Amino acid sequence: MDIVKSFKVFQLVAQEQSFSRAADSLNLVPSAVSRQINELEHWLGVRLLNRTTRTVHLTKEGSDYLAKTGQIIELVDALKFKKNDPKNIEGKLKISAPMMLGQHLLPQIVAGFKRDFPNVKLSLFLLNRKVDLIEEGFDLALRVSHLADSNLVARKLGNLSFATVASSDYLASNGTPKVPTDLQQHSCLINSAVSSANRWGYKINGRVKNVKVAGDIDANESLALLSLAKQGQGVAFLPEVYVQKELANGTLVEVLREFRPEPLPINLLYVSNRLVSPVLKTFIDYVVAYFPEVMPKLEAEVLYP
C-alpha cells in the first residue's frame, strides 16, 4: 500500500464528503477509492469515516487522523516543492468567502494568483455563513467580522466600511434622514441574507446602536439591492466597495455619514500553522501581499468636497 497516496485519498474523501466525487477528482472508480480507505482503516486499526447511502462523515478518530495525515502530506509536499521555480507548485484549494468579498475583491486576487501559479486549482464558495473549515473540508476562509476566540489562525487583511445610500430622486420625494431613527419613516431595502437584516448599526453618542428598519422589498443579494437603490426604490445599507462608483458619479447619495459605525475587519482564517501546505502558504502570502492593492479606496476630496 502506498501510504502517502492513501493519506491523500482520505483527505480528498473527507473534503468532498463523497467517494464518488473524490473518485472523479482522482480519475478513479469509486470502488478503488473505497478500497483505499478500507485498507487505510485496517492499517490504522480505526474507523475513519461513517458511511451512509448519500454521504460520508468523519468519525472522531477520523478528525484526529485527518489533522495528523495532513501534517505528513505537508512535509512530503514540502520536500518536492521547488523553491527556485514557484510556478511549478501544484495543488487544489477550497476557499470560502462572503458574497460581499466574492463579488468584488476576491476574483481579482484569484485571477492574479492563477497567472502566477497556473498549476493550482481553486474552488470558491461564496457563502453568507461561517463554515467549519475542518468538517467541511475548506483550506481557508475569508470573514468580515470581529472574531471570537478559536483554534483558527487569523491574518487581518484590511477593513470594510458600510454606507447608507439612496438615489437623489428617492430623497427628493421622501426627504433626507438626518439621524438614524429617521430611517423608521423610510422604505429600507433589506438584505435578507444576513442575520441582523432589520437592524442597522450606527455610531450614536460614541456607541454603536442598532436601529430597527423596515421596507417593502428584501433580497438575499447585495447587487440586487444596489440596483434597486439606484432605481429609487428605497434606502440601502451596503459595503462601501459596492457603491464607490455610484457615489463618485452622483447616481447615489450617502446619508447619515456622520453616524457610520466603525469598519469591520476582514480576516483570512486557516486551521493551523502546522498544517499549512506549500500551496496554501503560497496563496496566503499572495492574498496578504496583494489585498491592499485590490481594496478600493474612496477619495474623500472627490466624493465629499
Q: What is the pLDDT of residues 16-28, one digit of tens each?
A: 888 888 888 888 8
Q: Are residues 122 and 206 in the same domain?
A: no
* E strand segments, 127-262: 140-144, 153-160, 162-166, 188-191, 199-204, 207-212, 217-219, 235-239, 253-255
Q: Are residues 168 and 253 in the same domain?
A: yes
- Position 303 pLDDT exceeds 70: no
Tell me, yes or no, whether 305 lies in a domain.
no
Domain end marker among 64, 80, 96: 80
Q: Are residues 118 and 176 in the same domain?
A: no
Question: In the predicted model, what is the mean pLDDT of residues 139-157?
Answer: 83
- Which residue matches cell numbers 458619479? 249
Q: Are residues 71 and 139 in the same domain?
A: no
Q: Among 101-115, 148-162, 246-260, name the most confident range.
A: 246-260
Q: Are residues 218 and 245 in the same domain?
A: yes
Domain range enclosing 270: 85-158+264-296
Q: Are residues 278 and 234 in the same domain?
A: no
Residue 203 near residue 261 (C-beta atoms within 8 A): yes
Q: Are residues 141 and 287 in the same domain?
A: yes
DSSP state, residue 119: T
Tell me, yes or no, whether 303 lies in a domain.
no
Q: Are residues 170 and 289 in the same domain?
A: no
- CATH code assigned at 57: 1.10.10.10
Q: Are residues 207 and 126 in the same domain?
A: no
Measured CA to CA, the distance from residue 36 to residue 129 in angstroms comes to 33
State how many domains the chain has. 3
In this prediction, residue 78 carries a pLDDT of 62
Q: Are residues 98 and 235 in the same domain?
A: no
Q: pLDDT above 90 covers what percent of the chain? A: 35
- Position 297 pLDDT exceeds 80: no
Domain end marker among 80, 114, 134: 80
pLDDT-derived band of residue 137, with 50, 70 and 90 as boundaries? confident
Nearest in space to 267 (alpha carbons), one of 282, 287, 283? 287
Tell me, yes or no, whether 59 lies in a domain.
yes
C-alpha cell at 274: 502546522
Measured CA to CA, the distance from residue 186 to residue 166 in angstroms comes to 11
Residue 69 near residue 7 (C-beta atoms within 8 A): yes
- Which residue matches cell numbers 483570512? 268
In this prediction, residue 87 carries a pLDDT of 66
Measured CA to CA, the distance from residue 260 to residue 154 in angstroms comes to 26
Q: Are residues 124 and 273 in the same domain?
A: yes
Which positions ≥6 away from 268 have C-beta within 8 Å? 140, 141, 142, 154, 155, 156, 157, 284, 287, 288
- CATH code assigned at 208: 3.40.190.10
pLDDT-derived band of residue 80, with 50, 70 and 90 as boundaries? low
- Which residue matches cell numbers 459605525? 261
Q: Are residues 154 and 177 in the same domain?
A: no
In this prediction, residue 26 carries a pLDDT of 82
Tell me, yes or no, whether 212 lies in a domain.
yes
Question: In the predicted model, what is the mean pLDDT of residues 173-192?
Answer: 95
In this prediction, residue 305 carries a pLDDT of 34
Averaged pLDDT score across all residues of the chain: 85
The CA–CA distances, whole Å, from 178 to 11, 181, 185, 260 equal: 55, 8, 11, 13
- Position 7 pLDDT exceeds 70: yes
Residue 66 near residue 10 (C-beta atoms within 8 A): yes
The CA–CA distances, whole Å, from 177 to 171, 207, 225, 256 equal: 9, 19, 19, 7
